[in-house]
Chain A
Amino acid sequence: DAGVTQSPTHLIKTRGQQVTLRCSPKSGHDTVSWYQQALGQGPQFIFQYYEEEERQRGNFPDRFSGHQFPNYSSELNVNALLLGDSALYLCASSRQGISNEQYFGPGTRLTVT
């Protein structure tokens, strides 16, 4: 049973650029949540997708956007990158109805220079 997968593993971008991160949920899961984890901090909720719609959003600017596909996989897009966007981006999947029981992927380490 495949767990949550994310790609790429690492990414280096320049300020002002745009980035797209990808996530495939655990088998049987239909809900995807994205989190940002700064070094030495706990993960912070960005948004959650279910049925291809954004259902909840944390305190992140509109530069952060996402998408969910019919196969439940998801993308996180960040525009106009800032140095402060450097972090580990985590995807978590769950089943709607018990969507707070979340399983995390390995993350994508984004470095903005």
Chain B
Amino acid sequence: QQQVKQSPQSLIVQKGGISIINCAYENTAFDYFPWYQQFPGKGPALLIAIRPDVSEKKEGRFTISFNKSAKQFSLHIMDSQPGDSATYFCAASSSGGSQGNLIFGKGTKLSVKP
């Protein structure tokens, strides 16, 4: 199974609130889980990534939570700002034979209202 399922499709959050985006995967060979942020007309920018040896990783206002047994991971954006309004993609890949082949979710369009 190569799919990565992402939800919700869209999200509206008030300024200062917490944005939460969830992803689930099936392939147990996946061992690298990045999140990308994409603004209209731009390429995806690597935001934060996690490997399964840790359950949480925090960088500034962005936190990834990882649940290996449930095969789920999520992105939390604390103190959400209007400048965070973008489309967010989760992705997954393995370090084995298909190293480098990132499998992306379908994206979540985040709107942060002032």
Residues of A whose CB lies within 8 Å of any CB of B are 4, 6, 31, 33, 35, 40-45, 48, 55-56, 58, 90, 92, 94, 99-107
Residue in contact with A48 in the complex, picked from B43, B49, B101, CB distance below 8 Å: B101
**A104–B45 CB distance below 8 A:** yes
**B44–A45 CB distance below 8 A:** no
Cα–Cα, bound, A40→B46 (Å): 19
**A56–B100 CB distance below 8 A:** yes
With a CB–CB cut-off of 8 A, which chain B residues contact A40?
107
Q: List 16 A-B contacts (CB under 8 A).
A: A42-B6, A42-B89, A42-B106, A43-B89, A44-B104, A45-B101, A45-B102, A55-B100, A56-B101, A90-B43, A99-B100, A100-B102, A101-B34, A102-B100, A104-B43, A104-B45
A83 to chain B, nearest CB (A): 21
Residue of A nearest to B100 (CB): A99
A-B contact count (CB 8 A): 66
Whether A42 touches B101, Cβ cut-off 8 Å, given contacts A101-B34, A104-B36, A106-B42, is no
A72 to chain B, nearest CB (A): 14
With a CB–CB cut-off of 8 A, which chain A residues contact B44?
43, 90, 104
Cα–Cα, bound, A48→B101 (Å): 8
Cα–Cα, bound, A38→B6 (Å): 17
Cα–Cα, bound, A45→B91 (Å): 11
**A43–B104 CB distance below 8 A:** yes
With a CB–CB cut-off of 8 A, which chain A residues contact B104?
42-44
**A99–B49 CB distance below 8 A:** no
**B43–A99 CB distance below 8 A:** no
Residue of B nearest to A42 (CB): B104
